[in-house]
């Protein structure tokens, strides 16, 4: 009975719903399609099918689509829509089967072949078969209709594989056709290569990649941290400390990442945090800044610096629960002596190790460690310290 309806109309609806388009768009499609339908074709099934799609009732929509596909095995678009819906439902094996069958059809028009190739690539990507997905998308990067989406998928694949050279190549191609989603990604790729080269003891190659990162973005914070590490390795602790200091001042949210490196640098200079030479703008009377510094010291496990311990009461007071606990024990956090402060910091560090310490400002995923790229949404530079004690478990490995 569904075969009575124009297939293009149904496909527009099916694909729109499967692609998660807004209901408004579907209604606009409906409006256009309605004009091509004769009123006697408007059956109750038609409205029922439309309702399934608009209400995201995938099971019922699938039933309708299967009926259409069985009634009309020749129409490739119907099969493509069916494969798309299978993938959306997580039935990737079925989606692959449908799309592979389409590609094996003799005399398949080029545009439909490309559509099936792209859909198959997305199936493989969803199934985690990255090598196969890569082959599909590589074949499409010269096809204007699929170029941008294929390059974005290739970028995703290379990031997952840690193939930074290929990622750079895909990013540059993508930049020539469209704006990449993450503007700092290219600088991160060069930083990844710099760190890789450093691990392998290839210092000049590491420097070369680091310089490329800075060419992409001047004063790139991650690049500066790598640079500070290079300075330390080369015995130039003064330059390392200066670089760290600048990063902490400009990017205070990176404090927990930078602080351990900064402390390594000043210790190499036989200094402590409250030395005049090591003065930070952060070392102030401002209670919020002192609390942030104490928090960074706890989560990065560097609280044995006397100055950082002195900041701990500010952190304890800013958290209602911790403040109450301390007050119940000693009346005033300021009356804790250095041994007690060290003991509190040690206990807090143990608690923090089991809790979320960073949160993605883009997708909200929580992690126990810092990542430059969010493990949830794959955005770059979106993880920020939670900056207060939250006793909920980490949602991702960290």
* Chain residues in the site for Zn ion (CB under 5 A): 360, 362-363, 365, 374, 376-377
C-alpha to C-alpha distance for 301 and 298, rounded to whole angstroms: 5
Question: Which CB sits closer to Zn ion, 19 or 377?
Answer: 377
Q: Which CA distances in Å does 350 have to 206, 275, 299? A: 35, 29, 9
CA atoms within 13 A on the CB side of 281: 10
Do residues 249 and 282 make contact, with C-beta atoms less than 8 angstroms apart? yes
Helix axis angle, 7-18 relative to 23-34, nearest 10°? 170
Min separation Cβ 382 and Zn ion, Å: 5
Min separation Cβ 364 and Zn ion, Å: 7
In which element (H, E) is residue 167 found? helix 164-177
Min separation Cβ 363 and Zn ion, Å: 3
Min separation Cβ 9 and Zn ion, Å: 38
Structure tokens at 31: 């409006």
Q: How distant is the alpha carbon of residue 208 from its chain centre? A: 27
Min separation Cβ 368 and Zn ion, Å: 15
Min separation Cβ 156 and Zn ion, Å: 14
Question: Which CB sits closer to Zn ion, 329 or 363?
Answer: 363
165: nearest Cα among 228, 203, 114, 212: 212
Min separation Cβ 24 and Zn ion, Å: 27
Question: Which CB sits closer to Zn ion, 171 or 358?
Answer: 358
Give the contacts of 387 (CB within 8 A, at least 6 positions apart).
292, 295
Question: Which CB sits closer to Zn ion, 248 or 374?
Answer: 374
* Residue in the block written with tokens 């710099």: 194
Q: Name the pairing type of β-strands 366-367 and 358-360.
A: antiparallel
Question: Which CB sits closer to Zn ion, 29 or 156?
Answer: 156
Question: Which CB sits closer to Zn ion, 345 or 374?
Answer: 374
Question: Which CB sits closer to Zn ion, 66 or 182?
Answer: 182
Min separation Cβ 385 and Zn ion, Å: 15
C-alpha to C-alpha distance for 365 and 348, rounded to whole angstroms: 22
Min separation Cβ 396 and Zn ion, Å: 9
State the SS3 of 235-282: CCHHHHHHHHHHHHHHCHHHHHHHHHHHHHHHHHCCCCCCCHHHCCCC
Do residues 115 and 140 make contact, with C-beta atoms less than 8 angstroms apart? no
Count other C-beta atoms under 10 Å from residue 163's C-beta: 18
Report the greatest alpha carbon distance in the chain. 89
Structure tokens at 105: 């059809």
C-alpha to C-alpha distance for 253 and 247, rounded to whole angstroms: 10
Min separation Cβ 398 and Zn ion, Å: 13
Question: Which CB sits closer to Zn ion, 183 or 235?
Answer: 183
Question: Which CB sits closer to Zn ion, 289 or 387?
Answer: 387
Question: Which CB sits closer to Zn ion, 50 or 360?
Answer: 360
Helix (H, G, I), strand (E, B) or coil at 366: strand
C-alpha to C-alpha distance for 58 and 18, rounded to whole angstroms: 9
Min separation Cβ 189 and Zn ion, Å: 18
Do residues 381 and 362 make contact, with C-beta atoms less than 8 angstroms apart? no
Question: Which CB sits closer to Zn ion, 42 or 363?
Answer: 363
C-alpha to C-alpha distance for 158 and 378, rounded to whole angstroms: 12
């Amino acid at each position: 009975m569904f075969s009575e309806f124009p297939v293009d109309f149904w496909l527009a609806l099916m694909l729109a719903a499967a692609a998660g388009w807004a209901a408004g768009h579907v209604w606009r499609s409906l409006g256009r399609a309605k004009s091509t339908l004769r009123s006697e074709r408007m059956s109750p099934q038609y409205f029922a099918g439309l309702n399934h799609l608009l209400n995201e009732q995938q099971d019922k929509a699938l039933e309708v689509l299967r009926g259409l596909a069985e009634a009309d095995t020749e129409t490739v678009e119907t099969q493509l829509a069916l494969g798309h819906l299978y993938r959306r439902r997580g039935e990737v094996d079925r989606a692959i089967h449908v799309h592979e069958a389409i590609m094996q059809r003799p005399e398949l028009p080029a545009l439909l072949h490309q559509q099936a190739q792209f859909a198959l690539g997305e199936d493989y990507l969803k199934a985690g078969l990255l090598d196969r997905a890569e082959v599909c998308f590589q074949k499409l990067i010269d096809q204007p209709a699929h170029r941008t989406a294929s390059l974005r998928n290739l970028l995703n694949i290379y990031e997952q594989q840690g193939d930074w050279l290929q990622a750079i190549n895909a990013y540059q191609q993508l930049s020539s056709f469209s704006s990449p989603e993450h503007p700092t990604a290219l600088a991160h790729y060069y930083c990844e290569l710099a760190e890789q080269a450093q691990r392998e003891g290839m210092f000049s190659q590491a420097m070369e990649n680091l310089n490329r990162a800075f060419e992409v973005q001047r004063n790139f914070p991650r690049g500066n941290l790598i640079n500070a590490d290079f300075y330390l390795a080369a015995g130039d602790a003064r330059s390392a400390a200066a670089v760290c200091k600048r990063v902490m001042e400009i990017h205070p949210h990176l404090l927990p990442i930078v602080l351990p490196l900064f402390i390594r640098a000043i210790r190499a200079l036989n200094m402590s945090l409250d030395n005049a030479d090591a003065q930070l703008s952060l070392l102030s009377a401002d209670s919020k800044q002192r609390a942030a510094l104490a928090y960074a010291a706890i989560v990065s496990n560097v609280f044995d610096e006397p100055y950082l311990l002195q900041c701990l009461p500010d952190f304890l007071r800013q958290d209602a629960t911790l403040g109450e606990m301390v007050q119940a024990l000693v009346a005033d956090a300021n009356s804790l002596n250095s041994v007690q402060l060290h003991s509190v910091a040690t206990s807090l560090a143990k608690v923090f190790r089991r809790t979320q310490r960073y949160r993605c400002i883009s997708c909200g995923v929580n992690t126990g460690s810092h990542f430059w790229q969010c493990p949830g949404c794959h955005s770059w530079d979106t993880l920020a310290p939670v900056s207060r004690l939250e006793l909920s478990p980490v949602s991702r490995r960290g």
